[in-house]
Amino acid sequence: MNTFERIWAAARQIPPGRVASYGQLARMAGMPRSARVAGYAMHAAPEDVPCHRVVDRLGRLSDAFSPSGRDTHRLLLEMEGVDFLPDGRVDMARFQWTAGSSS
DNA sequence: AGTATGACATAGC
DNA sequence: AGCTATGCCATAC
């Protein structure tokens, strides 16, 4: 299993209506120091990986998100039931996924 | 094989 | 509270 696949596996574990930070994915993948690599893996993530559920530690997506940037990202998460703060960020306090909090 | 780069994170100023 | 600088680790050239 390559590094990317491990990170993708972690991303795939993110339930709908939940988000996870790059550092957290890296941590789940067994590489707590490879937060950058986690993001880089998302860049190369296949279709079956919900990369839109992956945000930075502030609940903000990178400025280089695939098609329409942050706009598409926001719509996708709202569509899944994720609420956004007036700051334009995801409410990490309520939607940051943690292994075990599937409810 | 070495250098440069990057969808991040943390600490300092 | 927001920006700059440094660290980390894997990929690309």
Distances from the Cα of A80 to the Cαs of A16, A19, A26, A37, A50, in angstroms?
Answer: 6, 10, 23, 26, 11
In angstroms, the CA of A23 and the C1' of B9 are apart by: 7
Which residue places its CA closest to the C1' of nucleotide C12? A40
What are A21's two structure tokens?
A: 């930070």
Which nucleotide across the nucleic acid strands is nearest to A51, CA versus C1'?
B7
| Over residues A49-78, mean pLDDT | 85
CB-CB contact of A21 with A79 (8 Å):
no
Write down the pLDDT at residue A100.
75
| pLDDT tens digits, A27-59 | 999 999 999 999 999 999 999 999 999 999 999
Q: Which nucleotide lies closest to A44 by the C1' atom and the CA atom? A: B7
Q: With 80 as the cut, is the pLDDT of residue A70 above it?
A: no
Which amino acid, A32? P
The pLDDT of residue A10: 94
Q: What is the mean pLDDT of chain A?
A: 89
Mean pLDDT, residues A77-95: 91
Using the predicted structure, report yes or no on whether residue A97 has a pLDDT greater than 80: yes
Active site residue A72: no
